[in-house]
Structures are given as C-alpha cells and as structure tokens.
Amino acid sequence: MSEPLFDPLVWLILLPLAWATLAFVLGPGRGAWPAIAGLTAQCWLALDLARKVGAGGTAIAGPDTLMGTAVHVVGGWGAPLGIDLAVDGLSAAMLLLTQVVALPLAIYARSYFKPGDPAGAWFWPLTGFLIAGLNALFVSADLFNLYVTLELVGLGAVALVAAGGGAQQVAAALRYLFATLVGSGAYLLGVALIYGAYGTVSIATLLPLVTNDAPRLVWIAGGLMVAGLMLKTALFPFHFWLPPAHGGAPAPVSALLSALVVKASFYLILRLWLGPLQAVLPTFAWLPALLGAAAIFWGSWQAIRAVKLKRLIAYSTVAQLGYLFLIFPLLAVPGALQAGVMQVFAHGLAKAGMFAAAGVLIKATGQDTVAGLAGAVERLPVTMFAFGLAGMTLMGLPPSSGFLAKWLIIEAALAQGHWIIAVVVLAGGLLAAVYVLRVLRQAFLLAPASVTLRPVSRTLEWSAFALAAASVLLGLRGVELMRLSGAVT
C-alpha cells in the first residue's frame, strides 16, 4: 500500500476534475493544454496501476476472488461508514483503456475545434468531468457510489452531445438523456431493494450474503439493475437512442461516447454478474446473449443501409456491443471474461480511430455521406488507411485485437459445446466486412472533377491513425492484457 497522498486511485479522479475546472475558469474554447498534460499524467498513472495489479498475481478467474488488490479508504473512514475505492484486474484494464483512448482524442480535438467554434466552447470542461466520472465508476466499490458515478457519466455525455448543435442534435441529446435517466432510475430502484433486503450496498459485504435462496426481492432487484444498464449500454432493442446521439455529435465526442461511455455500463453489468449477484443473474445468461446476437445482425444490417457515414459507424457500434453480451453464457471458463475485455479494448480503440477518421473526411469533403467519399483515398491516404485498419479490427482479421477477441469467444463457446455462438461471431464478422468495404469501395472511386477537398490538419490525420493502428497492434501484445484481466489459461 503506497502513501495515501500519492495513491494513483485518487489522482485518477482528482486530475481530470482539476483540469476540467481550470478549463471552465479559463472560458469558452480554452483549456486544451491543461487537458493534454493532465491526460498524459493519467496515462502514466493508469499504466503504473495496471502493472502493479497485474504483478500482484490477482487471479480474477474465480469469481470469488473478484474484489480488488489496490484499495483506498477515502478520508481514512473505512467501510461500512466511509467509502472504499478498490481496483482489481478488470477495473485496472478499464482505467487503462479510458486514459489511452482519451489522450489521442484530446490531441485530435485540439485541432478539430477551431477557435470560436460553438461546438467546442465547453468541450474541455465537459470531457474532464466525463473522464473523472468514468474513472470514479471503475474504482467504486459500493452500489450506491456506482449509481452516482453512472449519473455523472450520463449527464456529461448528454451535455457533450448537445453542445453547439442544431435542433436535430439537441433532440438527439434529449432522447439520450431520457434513456439514460430511465436506465439509472431502474438501477437505483434495484439498489434500494438490495439495501432493503441486506442493509448494505458494499460489494464486498454483499458477496457472501446473496445466495441461491435469496428472497424474490433480490431477483427483482437484479432484473431491474441489469435491464437499466442494458438500456444505458444500448443493447438491442434498447439501442434506439444511440445512432442519433453518436451519429449527430461532433467527431471527437462521438469517439469518446462510442469508445468509452457505453462500456462503463457494460463494465457494471459484468461487475454485478461476477460479483454480488453471481448467485442470481447467471440463471438468465442466455437472454443477454440472445439480445447480443440480435444486436449484431440488426446493427450490421442498419450500418449496411445507412446513408450518412457517421450513422453507419454508430450502427456498427450497436453491432459490436452485441459481441460483449455473447460472453455471458460462457463465463464458466476464464477465457470468456478475457474475450470480453479484449473486445472492449478492440472496439474502444478501433471505434475511436474510426470516428476520428470520419471527422477528418467530413471536414475535408464538407458533408457527412458515404456517397460523398469518392476520391478520398487519393487525397487523404493516411486517414483512409486509418479507417481501413480500424475496419480490420471490427471485421476481426488477424493480427488485430478484434481477431483475438473473436477467437477467444469462439474458443470459449466451442469448449462448452455452444457452437451456435461461434456461428453468430463468424456471421457478424462477414457483415462487418460488408459495411466497412462499402465505405472503402466508395473512397477508392475517382472523384468527379467538380469536387475539391479542403485541406485538413496533419495532427487530425495522424491521431486518428494512431488509435486505429493501436487497435491492430494490440493483437500482437494481447497476452499482457489477458494476464491483467484474468489468469492466462
């Protein structure tokens, strides 16, 4: 246990709060450099934390050893009176992903928002509060604290979607706000029922209390919490709010939302599933898997049909989130959890890179349609290469991390005889190829002579490229991540 003052758990929450407040005080459009400096420090902290937790040999393979290795007692008041922060392999991995995706996106956003652009006026403070909320969510160890952080993340994300937009964008933000409020309301009611049954909300205390013969109240609570979180994760058929919100927001915001925000509520489902509600929830393991399979087909189909480029990428998010829910019937083997974490990383990096690349294309062509992309390969080779690399991860081609994730899911499925899940994964990869290649084909066409592309900053192109390349290269260094998220088989 390190000195409480220098505990990375605390600084991962305090640093973004500090630079967000500073950016707010500095005024509209200001605060990019403090944000980039702060995020660089956070990356280092998260890496350090991941290395420590990984070296501690925390085997999360068995659900009973789920609770953390790194613990911080806030203000010196321990549970049950005070609030504990805890980090295990799963949360360390999520923290790492959050900082690693946010830093290139911050560099990207600094060049994306021109001075005086109303869409970027409050980007920095809102992003800071959003990331503080995400980091706080990943280190929280009690159900009510998790509710508060969930709301922080939701409110920050909604404000980012609405910023500086027209009526369509504000409407998308409102639709998103109502969905996220109903989702967290259901979660809160679940927390209330659990407190009524056991008199505690601490995950560690609940773990031995909730057993197979739990009262019916607890089953209802589990159902409410998971249903609310599924709504927030935009699992089919609760995905209606995602395409307008992620497709309508400015590109850096779409990237943050698709890569990180929807993963936060998924993380929480996984946390409940493996932790306090492990005696209750796995009875219904096939329901999320069924919805996940439906999400893969429906999301891919809508992406294939989409007119707008960012709408296509947003529907691809709906499809890719489906894979995350396929792992629930497979969690008996440790490989399934690793597959889930790998898919979270693969999609997070690839989708951030893809939305960033789409932002470059929209800036250059001045329009957001797939049809308007003709000639993009010739003029913006780096950006289209980035789009292709990200697409490779979404399709699951080797050696990308997407391939690794799908491989792990198929392996876990076949080991338990659930070949139907393997079929769904393979079909989903083919459908992803259709919508990714649809974009690439259009970009390879010759541009009509009348079309001129506007020049775009190199920083934008290369930060998108860095994210997309990271999603492919992670496939080569996946062992470290798998060791972190569970014992390697």
Partner 1 sequence: MSTGFVFALTGSILFAAGVAGVVLVAHLLRRILAFNLMGSGAFLVLVGLAQRQDVADPVPQAMVLTGIVVAVAATALALALVRKLHALSGRLELPDDVDE
Residues of this chain that bind partner 1 (CB under 8 A): 144, 147-148, 151, 155, 158-159, 162, 166-168, 170-175, 177-178, 181-182, 185-186, 188-189, 191-193, 195-197, 199, 201, 243-244, 247, 306-308, 311
Q: Are strands 84-87 and 70-73 parallel, antiparallel or unpaired?
A: antiparallel
| Cβ-contact 266, 259 below 8 angstroms | no
Q: Which CB sits closer to partner 1, 430 or 434?
A: 434
- Count of helix runs (H) and strand runs (E) in the chain: 20, 2
Backbone angles phi, psi at 93, to 5 degrees: -65, -45
Nearer to partner 1, 2 or 168 (CB): 168
Smallest gap from residue 217 Cβ to partner 1 (A): 8
**Distance in Å, CB of 139 to partner 1, minimum:** 18
Give Dmax (Cα) for the chain.
Answer: 72
Nearer to partner 1, 191 or 274 (CB): 191
3-state helix, strand, coil in the chain (%, to 5): 75, 5, 20
Residue whose CB is less far from partner 1, 195 or 219: 195
**Cβ-based nearer residue to partner 1, 101 or 245:** 245
What is the Cα–Cα distance from 117 to 134, expressed in whole angstroms? 26
Q: Residue 447 gets which letter from DSSP?
A: P
Output 42 or 184, the one with its CB closest to partner 1: 184
Q: Are 356 and 471 in contact (CB under 8 A)?
A: no
Count of Cβ atoms closer than 10 Å to residue 166 Cβ = 8
Nearer Cβ to partner 1 (258/343): 258
Task: Report the C-alpha gap between 228 and 448 in whole angstroms.
Answer: 48
| Shortest separation between residue 81's beta carbon and partner 1, angstroms | 9
Residue 473 Cβ vs partner 1, minimum distance, rounded to whole Å: 33
- Shortest distance (Å) from residue 189 CB to partner 1: 5
* Least Å from the CB of residue 199 to partner 1: 7
- The nearer residue to partner 1, 141 or 389, going by C-beta atoms, is 141
274: left (phi over 0), alpha (psi -120 to 50) or beta: alpha
Q: Give whichever of 306 and 392 is closer to partner 1, judged by the CB atom.
A: 306
Residue 377 structure tokens: 């390969």
SS3 278: coil
One-letter identity of residue 245: A
* Complex with partner 1: residue 17 or 159, whichever CB lies closer: 159
DSSP letter, residue 308: B
Shortest Å distance, C-beta 149 to partner 1? 10
**Assigned token pair, 429:** 């990869």
Give me the least distance between CB of 384 and partner 1, in Å please: 23
Closest CB 33 distance from partner 1, rounded Å? 28
Q: How far apart (Å, rounded) are the C-alpha atoms in residues 96 and 348?
A: 11
Burial grade of 56 (CB within 10 A; 0-12, 13-18, 19 or more): middle
Supply the angle between the helices 334-365 and 478-485 in degrees, to the nearest 10.
130
Dist. CA 56–CA 69, nearest whole Å: 7
- What's the closest the beta carbon of residue 39 comes to partner 1, in angstroms? 25
